[in-house]
Structure 1
Amino acid sequence: MSSVEQTVTPKSISVFSLFSPALLPATLMLGGGVALYAVEAYITATIAPSIVRDIGGLELFSWMITLFVAAGVLGSITVATRPRGVGLRTVYVAAALIFGAGNLICAIAPAIQVVLAGRAVQGFGAGMLAALAYAFIRFVYPQPLWRKASTLYAAIWGVATVLGPTLGGLFSQGSAWREAFVILVPLAGLMALSSRWLLPRVDDDRAQQKTPVLQIALLLAAVLLMSFAGTIEPISSKITLVAISMASISAMLAIERKSANRLLPQGAVMLGRPISRLYLTMFTLMMVLTSDIYIPYFLQTLHGVAPLVSGYLVALVALGWTLAAFFSASFSGKQAGVSIIVGCVLETAATASLILFLARDNPSGDLALLGPAVVAMFLMGCGVGLGWAHLVTKVIGLVDSSEQDKASAAISTVQSLGGAFGSSLAGVIVNSAGLADPGDITGSLSAATWLYALMALPGLIAIAMSLTLKPVSA
């Protein structure tokens, strides 16, 4: 038994065990990687208008997010498909350096095209860092702490939704957006340098296979098409891109099912296998959650809420995720299984309830009408937070050691896919329901009603899948 395992007993297990002297260095490195990805995504979303005002390129505005997301998916895949014999610690060094290089490119960019190149490099490194956090869990922590580490990573994403825009706001004037990228360059360099001492050296125990190039290409095409669909206005074009994206996913899954050279763990595309249902649960949870992107607009249009206040109110979704993640962190066995089910039900019900609470004409901001909508937003996040860490732990513990890198990397991939599909689908729904035409109160009421009615439906899939999952072991 290792010294770490000796210090972690069932009675001493808590999230704070991750910060014990023996585990603190690795926790800072792995949690820091997730934080860089999460916070940077929200910082750039905040400073993007300043970038195009300063150096132009409004017509390419949407690609700053699209390329980051697509490159992030490729980065997470790279962790599992890296060359044979390359250890995780070496990949971490490369990921931190790539992320730093991407920030430097953005900081010195003279034109929007260079910023886009930097965002792609940045996203690739960030995607690797996020996937590495899950890949390292089994090597850094004793098994009783896997769920706690997953809880911490989930909480970081929740905090980032508030911290990112706040930090971005500090750099949103004039050319100050360059400093938002510059400050992360030395941090990335420090993380790359420190990883040699703070992260363990682990053997590459993956099974020998070739890189599944075709599946990766189809998956990236799907992400790019879906992300782009969320940025264009014509409804027919949106629907076409979504359809092609779904066809790409279907083709990838069909190839994955028959190929011996797989991108995902064995059984991940066969609904009869538990790991497939785990990934599908995670995917649909993220799809439903991204319906929150239109909450600030509806709060301002229908309830007379000020823009700044609406931004902080929607942050309650992230707060709910974070608090629920910590609340359920100590659950195991049947408790953890119930937590996943309750979380899926809670998120779905809270989303559907916005049909009644948010899709209301309340220009005076009457608290009797607005209050229930605010509670529903908080409960949406709680639903995901209750079960996410347990789903992650189940994925990592379910596969053989030779496929655990694939399984870990797929967690970040599924999370990104769920967000991309959800945001694009939400855009198709609201525009089809009249958000822009006829617009105003009538259009907003129709759009909000249809959005939360249809976006709650994937939650029913999550509930159905969660009911088939066996209890998460302690």
Structure 2
Amino acid sequence: MTSTEASPADTASVFQLFARPVLPATLMLGGGVTLYAVETYIMATIAPSIVRDIGGLPLLFWVTTLYVAAAVLGSIFVAMRPRGTGLRTVYVAGAVMFAAGSLICGLAPSMPVVLVGRAVQGFGAGALAALSYAFIRFVYPEPLWRKASTLYAAIWGVSTLLGPSLGGLFSDGSDWRHAFMLIVPVGVIMALLGPLLLPAATDDRAAGKTPVPQIALLIAAVILVSLAGTVEATRTKALLIGASIIAAGLMLAIEKRSENRLLPTGAVTLGNPLARVYLIIFTLMLVLTSDIYIPYFLQTLHGITPLESGYLTALVALGWTLAAFFSGTLSGRRARRAIVAGCVLETIAAASLAVFLARDNQGGSLAILSPAVAGMFLMGFGVGMAWAHLITKILRIVEKAEQDKASAAITTVQSLGSAFGAALAGVIVNSTGLVTPGGIEGGVSAAHWLFALMALPGILTVVASLSIRASGDQAEARQAAA
């Protein structure tokens, strides 16, 4: 093929995902991602209402911790399900569990029961999110793989705005229960339609035993780092993060030597391009999660109202969504450049917030605020540029027998990146003035150090993205020849 010829991927359009032959599957898979993403942000909004209504403040941190840990376990189950179990069966189970967990939460008389519901709900949500990637190769021709990944990336971006908005509708009194109860019929309908609208997917996984030690260590790492995000004491946060890193390191060490692997071959060896793609996904999410403190800094340092800060922070999600659709039209060399450009853009944008957001702007001067707003938008835009191409690269590099492992790992790595990012951000701001001395002075210091330090992992994504270009092409070529 000459450089002037268009490949099938060049001519494919994202709108082909909504063509009649694949529309039902697109709606089912997109719906699974939407449930996972939106529910994550709805809960963050209604959690205070739950505590005011039924109590349980000391247990509040487990609401998110259990959900994330169970979601990781659910994504792992997609790859480690019993032999002969089809993806459609797992989809039905995931939708039923999500509905059941939502029902438990909606009827819960106390916080411990809410936690049970969140664990059940999280397992189903994690399975549904992982299935969206696992089904891609069975639903769409290869030229549409990148477009499907683009759609799912856009859903995550939109959900960061939609979730809190929906949560706000159910924040009064006992209305929080409606936020769960409305989801129950959606889950039931998805479970009923799954076998009818999703294609049969051959269980072509390689034979092997369940890697119990790796799974246990991974879940421990997720729980420890999630707990770190809820603790106020900086020293305790650091200890929990350190323990989580040790658990993750042990998991990777066992994974590298074990015959029963949790991850696809090469995923823990940096010399393999696959490992570097997963590293980029992890680090992109880690850096992006620093946005959890943006509303506070907008309100404290720039005199913005809570409502205004919410809409401005949503620009991060808007940037992700717009970039996903823009970048989704690229392929070949331009797609590889988009990965590098996205990593560079997120890193520079995060670093810019260390200067422009970390300002005493009580008067709300637009001249001072505008560069910070642009940095927020571009931080999300950078992730959106790279995301779909990273997912597609994974699906092309990995052998067919390990596709389910690779798909499940995408959701797992994404969740880990967010959890580590939130915990690390908490350690940074608490150590650099947010609490002591606090106020404007402490806020400026905390904002500066947060984004300056969180930009550093972004440099790692840039280096990794440059390193996978040639080696990734070679691996894809070998896979295509096979």
Higher deviation after alignment, 385-394 or 10-19: 10-19
For 1:155, the equivalent position in structure 2 comes to: 154
Check if 1:388 corresponds to 2:387: yes
Which secondary structure state, in structure 2, belongs to the residue aligned with residue 361 of structure 1? coil
Q: Distance in 1 between matches of 2:98 and 2:124?
A: 4
Deviations 1:45-89 (A, max 9, x none): 111111111100111112111111111111101100111110100
For 1:352, the equivalent position in structure 2 comes to: 351
Deviations 1:4-40 (A, max 9, x none): xxxx965751111000001100000000000000001
Q: Distance in 2 between matches of 1:10 and 1:267?
A: 26
For 1:75, the equivalent position in structure 2 comes to: 74
For 2:141, the equivalent position in structure 1 comes to: 142
Q: Distance in 1 between matches of 2:328 and 2:239?
A: 42
For 2:112, the equivalent position in structure 1 comes to: 113
Question: Between Structure 1 and Structure 2, how many residues are aligned?
Answer: 467
* Aligned positions of 1:10-29 closer than 5 A: 13-29=12-28
For 1:185, the equivalent position in structure 2 comes to: 184
Check if 1:166 corresponds to 2:165: yes
For 2:438, the equivalent position in structure 1 comes to: 439
For 1:449, the equivalent position in structure 2 comes to: 448
For 2:32, the equivalent position in structure 1 comes to: 33
Which secondary structure state, in structure 1, belongs to the residue aligned with residue 268 of structure 2? coil
For 1:275, the equivalent position in structure 2 comes to: 274
Which secondary structure state, in structure 2, belongs to the residue aligned with residue 456 of structure 1? helix
Q: Distance in 1 between matches of 2:141 and 2:467?
A: 27
Q: Distance in 1 between matches of 2:355 and 2:206?
A: 52
Deviations 1:98-125 (A, max 9, x none): 0000000001100000001100100000
Aligned-residue offset at 1:404: 0.4
Letter in 2 for 1:444: G
Q: Distance in 2 between matches of 1:450 and 1:387?
A: 26
Q: Distance in 2 between matches of 1:55 and 1:246?
A: 35
Change (3 A) 1:334 1:10: closer
Check if 1:469 corresponds to 2:468: yes
Tell me, yes or no, if the aligned pair for 2:280 and 2:464 is still in contact at 8 Å: yes
Check if 1:255 corresponds to 2:254: yes
* Aligned positions of 1:294-313 closer than 5 A: 294-313=293-312
For 2:220, the equivalent position in structure 1 comes to: 221
* Aligned positions of 1:348-427 closer than 5 A: 348-427=347-426
Q: Distance in 1 between matches of 2:297 and 2:129?
A: 32
Check if 1:176 corresponds to 2:175: yes
Change (3 A) 1:78 1:430: same
Deviations 1:127-184 (A, max 9, x none): 0000000000000000000000000000000000111111111111111111111111
For 2:321, the equivalent position in structure 1 comes to: 322
Tell me, yes or no, if the aligned pair for 2:10 and 2:331 is still in contact at 8 Å: no
Deviations 1:438-472 (A, max 9, x none): 10011111111110111001000000000011266
Letter in 2 for 1:410: A
Aligned-residue offset at 1:330: 1.1
Check if 1:195 corresponds to 2:191: no
For 2:331, the equivalent position in structure 1 comes to: 332
Change (3 A) 1:345 1:10: closer
Q: Distance in 1 between matches of 2:10 and 2:251?
A: 45
Check if 1:89 corresponds to 2:85: no
Tell me, yes or no, if the aligned pair for 2:9 and 2:144 is still in contact at 8 Å: no
Q: Distance in 2 between matches of 1:212 and 1:354?
A: 42
Q: Distance in 2 between matches of 1:178 and 1:225?
A: 29
Which secondary structure state, in structure 2, belongs to the residue aligned with residue 437 of structure 1? coil
Higher deviation after alignment, 162-171 or 385-394: 162-171
Q: Distance in 2 between matches of 1:326 and 1:439?
A: 40
Which secondary structure state, in structure 1, belongs to the residue aligned with residue 203 of structure 2? coil
Q: Distance in 2 between matches of 1:216 and 1:147?
A: 29
Q: Distance in 2 between matches of 1:57 and 1:393?
A: 43
Q: Distance in 2 between matches of 1:269 and 1:435?
A: 36
Q: Distance in 1 between matches of 2:431 and 2:201?
A: 51
Which secondary structure state, in structure 2, belongs to the residue aligned with residue 173 of structure 1? coil
Identity of aligned residues (%): 67
Q: Distance in 1 between matches of 2:134 and 2:26?
A: 13
Which secondary structure state, in structure 2, belongs to the residue aligned with residue 423 of structure 1? helix
Q: Distance in 1 between matches of 2:449 and 2:195?
A: 52
Aligned-residue offset at 1:434: 1.4
For 1:3, the equivalent position in structure 2 comes to: none
For 1:293, the equivalent position in structure 2 comes to: 292
Q: Distance in 1 between matches of 2:354 and 2:88?
A: 48
Q: Distance in 1 between matches of 2:447 and 2:44?
A: 23
Change (3 A) 1:113 1:183: same
Which secondary structure state, in structure 1, belongs to the residue aligned with residue 267 of structure 2? coil
Q: Distance in 2 between matches of 1:43 and 1:360?
A: 30
Deviations 1:280-303 (A, max 9, x none): 011111110001110000011111
Q: Distance in 2 between matches of 1:294 and 1:125?
A: 29
Q: Distance in 2 between matches of 1:241 and 1:172?
A: 31
Q: Distance in 1 between matches of 2:183 and 2:445?
A: 43
Q: Distance in 2 between matches of 1:20 and 1:177?
A: 37
Q: Distance in 2 between matches of 1:281 and 1:52?
A: 37
Q: Distance in 2 between matches of 1:304 and 1:195?
A: 48
Runs of at least 5 residues in structure 1 that lack an aligned partner in the other structure: 1-7
Check if 1:62 corresponds to 2:61: yes
Give me the CA root mean square deviation.
1.2
Letter in 2 for 1:247: I
Tell me, yes or no, if the aligned pair for 2:10 and 2:329 is still in contact at 8 Å: no
Which secondary structure state, in structure 2, belongs to the residue aligned with residue 467 of structure 1? helix
Q: Distance in 2 between matches of 1:321 and 1:235?
A: 31
Q: What TM-score, normalized by structure 2, do the two folds share?
A: 0.96
Letter in 2 for 1:373: A
Runs of at least 5 residues in structure 2 that lack an aligned partner in the other structure: 1-6, 478-482
Change (3 A) 1:11 1:406: closer
Q: Distance in 2 between matches of 1:167 and 1:453?
A: 33
For 2:3, the equivalent position in structure 1 comes to: none
Letter in 2 for 1:19: F
Letter in 2 for 1:293: I
Higher deviation after alignment, 56-65 or 398-407: 56-65
Letter in 2 for 1:416: S
Deviations 1:321-348 (A, max 9, x none): 0000100101111100000000000000
Q: Distance in 1 between matches of 2:8 and 2:241?
A: 49
Which secondary structure state, in structure 2, belongs to the residue aligned with residue 172 of structure 1? coil
